[in-house]
Amino acid sequence: MIERLDLQPRHRKRIEAVLNEHLPGVEVWSYGSRVNGRGHGGSDLDLVLRGPGLERLPIGKLSDLTEAFRESNIPFLIEARDWARLPESFHREIERGYVVLVRRHASA
Q: What is the pLDDT along the chain (108 residues), one digit of tens a residue?
A: 656 899 999 999 999 999 999 999 999 999 999 999 888 778 999 999 999 999 999 999 999 999 999 999 899 999 999 999 999 999 999 999 999 999 986 544
- 28 with 100: CB under 8 angstroms? yes
* Domains of the chain by residue range: 9-102
**Nearest C-alpha neighbor of 43 from the set 10, 18, 6:** 6
Distance CA 10, CA 1 (A): 23
Q: What CATH number belongs to 9-102?
A: 3.30.460.10
Give me the pLDDT at residue 108, please.
42
Distance CA 108, CA 104 (A): 6
Q: Specify the amino acid at residue 37.
A: G
Give me the pLDDT at residue 55, please.
95
